Structure 1
Amino acid sequence: MTAEPTTPEHPAKPARRFALLSNRAGAVFLTPAGLLVALFVIIPFFWVIFVSFTNRTLLGRTALNPEFVGLANYFALFDPSNFFQRGQFGFSLILTTQFVLASALIGQALLGLLLAWLIQTVPPWIKRLTETFVIAAWILPEVVIGFAWFAFLDRDQGTLNAILGSVGLPKGDFLLQQPFWVIVVFNTWRGAAFSMMLFNSAFSSIPPSYFQAADVAGASSWQKFKDIALPLIRGHVVTDLILITMWTFNTFTPFLLTNGGPSYRTELLSIYNYRVAFRDFEFGKGAAVGVIIMLINLAFALIYLAIGRKKRV
């Protein structure tokens, strides 16, 4: 059977597209997922916003009959008289910002980028072995990693102090003396694995002929990285920075090492929110902190979507 000729008088008919499911059947299949999202995401989201405008607590008169207090919880969080004091919202916000800069932007991104670039030049078996250890550090449960690091840094029976003592160096109580840098190193060690895997995939997607031409021209490793590799993976770098910034800002794992102490010196915003809501039982104030954290995460998400949209254009 021959196809009919296409002429101005007889234009070609568009091919028919048959949907596997009707709109009604698709809605039926999506309904359970929509109900779960509404139950566990949308409703709690608006409930937290509502509670942030009340003085709800777990104990006392306001547990059953909370009162509407408007913006009082938010004003209390941003009270300039105690904003910078330890144990207050402002101190935790500034500490979290420092933690993100030191751990995510400087630590994880740079270390992951450096490791990913270095393993491009090693023998294949070393590259596979390195990737295995890196993936293991990433997929192990956070609780296991936290207690492993606690055992490593323990003052009396810790592995690190045992190594230092065996070579004649003085021992130290690192969790008490340098708690902030302990959680920075801990989070960098764990988070650099993701950055390394992402950048490793990005470097592998670059055509080898680019580097072969650079070798013929006598380019050094730094020149190949600066002039060839880095411009070609710029989009991956931006994606990595946005993702690890959001994850580091919301991380709770340092709680396993320091419990937010000593003297609130490692009480990140997520740990501060936990203490206010579930230790002090001030649900209204804790909900206000949660709303602020959600707004900050929303800002990160909007930046990420804007960058992704620009890349598609």
Structure 2
Amino acid sequence: MAEKPATWLAPLLLFIAVFYLYPLIDVIRLSFTNAGSVSQPYVYTLSSFSAVLTSPDFAAMLTVTVIFVIASVAGQLIAGLLIATLLIEGEKRRLPGASFVRSVVLIGWVLPGVVIGIVWKLLLDETGSGILASVATAFGWTNVTFLSAAGPALFWVIVANIWRGTAFSMLMQYSGMKTISPELYEAARVDGAGFWQQFRYITIPSLKRVTMINLILISIATLNTFDMIVPLTGGGPGRATEVIALYIYNVVFVEFSLGRGAAVAVILMLFGLALTLLYFRFFLAREDEEGAS
């Protein structure tokens, strides 16, 4: 007698319920309380959401987060597409070093975020031990600012996050390019299409669904980034690089305010869902327009 699918799915569903669904429900529940720590009594109220949404600090962090997410996602998408294209072209031309380049790019993805933050901290330290500061001094540049001012600090945090996430974007788009039929490119070359024409009219349209999945995943990953920022800037100078995910960490584990931390976590989750729905709507609308034409 054949086993029912539910028998095989039960362990997976139990795992999801215990480690994903229950924590999610509990965070949503705590967001409607004024809980301080686990041992303290609390009441159900909307004060946590009210305190967060009316706080000027939250508005400032929301602006920083939007800039951080948009710039990081755009940078990862473009850099990943560029590297994937170069790798594909290198393989077509049988150039040596393609595997080496792929391995080097993957380093940023496999390293833990804390390690990446420490590496970039060593690179950008403005004292004599900083690598870039030492190079700048050797060329006669003094008082170079990397992390001690708001604008440069946010810029370098974005650059570090792009370096970290480009590998995943490259893998997604590289895999998508490998599925495109070579016959399409051969037919385009016969018709006289050059590299850029092939890239624009064959590669880009063929990567639409991969690009949508890529955008969703790297956007969610960037929204939840804080491990890299902690050793790199700690959210400073001031709160210039304190994104919402880092704010949640500080509220819960430094200020011990579970209610407010949970409220911000729910708001961040809603941002992620809204962003995902926006991507789906945009790409589906584009497909409908192309199908109608």
Give yes or no for the alignment of 1:282 onto 2:224.
no
Identity %: 36
Unaligned runs of 5+ in 1: 1-17
Give yes or no for the alignment of 1:149 onto 2:125.
no
In 2, Cα distance between the equivalents of 1:153 and 1:76? 36
- Greater helix share, structure number: 2
Give yes or no for the alignment of 1:108 onto 2:76.
yes
What are the residue-to-residue correspondences of 1:193-212 with 2, within 5 Å? 193-212=167-186
1:251 to 225, 232, 243: 225
Q: Secondary structure at the match of 2:88?
A: coil
Summarize the Cα distance change of 1:30–1:229 in structure 2 as closer, same or farther, 3 Å threshold.
closer
1:129 paired residue number? 100
Give yes or no for the alignment of 1:51 onto 2:30.
yes
Give the partner amino acid of 2:241: T
TM-score, with structure 2 as normaliser: 0.85
> Does the aligned pair in 2 maintain the 1:154–1:173 contact within 8 Å?
no
2:41 to 55, 59, 65: 65
1:180 to 138, 147, 154: 154
1:96 paired residue number? 65
Give yes or no for the alignment of 1:296 onto 2:267.
no
Q: Secondary structure at the match of 2:212?
A: helix
Unaligned runs of 5+ in 2: 288-293
In 1, Cα distance between the equivalents of 2:142 and 2:182? 49
> Does the aligned pair in 1 maintain the 2:212–2:283 contact within 8 Å?
no
Give the partner amino acid of 1:159: I
> Does the aligned pair in 1 maintain the 2:114–2:230 contact within 8 Å?
no
Summarize the Cα distance change of 1:215–1:33 in structure 2 as closer, same or farther, 3 Å threshold.
closer
TM-score, with structure 1 as normaliser: 0.80
Q: Which has the larger radius of gyration?
A: 1
Give yes or no for the alignment of 1:234 onto 2:235.
no
Per-residue CA deviation, residues 151-183 of structure 1 (Å, 9 max, x unaligned), is 111112011122222233335231112110011
In 1, Cα distance between the equivalents of 2:79 and 2:196? 16
Give the partner amino acid of 1:54: T
2:88 to 108, 112, 120: 120
2:290 paired residue number? none
1:15 paired residue number? none
Give the partner amino acid of 2:216: I
Per-residue CA deviation, residues 99-134 of structure 1 (Å, 9 max, x unaligned), is 111111x21111111221223222442222211111
In 2, Cα distance between the equivalents of 1:89 and 1:146? 24
Give yes or no for the alignment of 1:169 onto 2:145.
no
2:197 paired residue number? 223
In the alignment of these two chains, the number of paired residues is 280
Alpha-carbon shift at residue 212 of structure 1 (Å): 2.7
Per-residue CA deviation, residues 53-84 of structure 1 (Å, 9 max, x unaligned), is 2211139xxx522123x2221122222xx43x
Give the partner amino acid of 1:278: F
Greater alpha carbon shift after TM alignment, 132-141 vs 38-47: 38-47
Alpha-carbon shift at residue 196 of structure 1 (Å): 1.2
Give the partner amino acid of 1:160: L
Per-residue CA deviation, residues 237-283 of structure 1 (Å, 9 max, x unaligned), is 12211111111111112222111111100000001111112111111
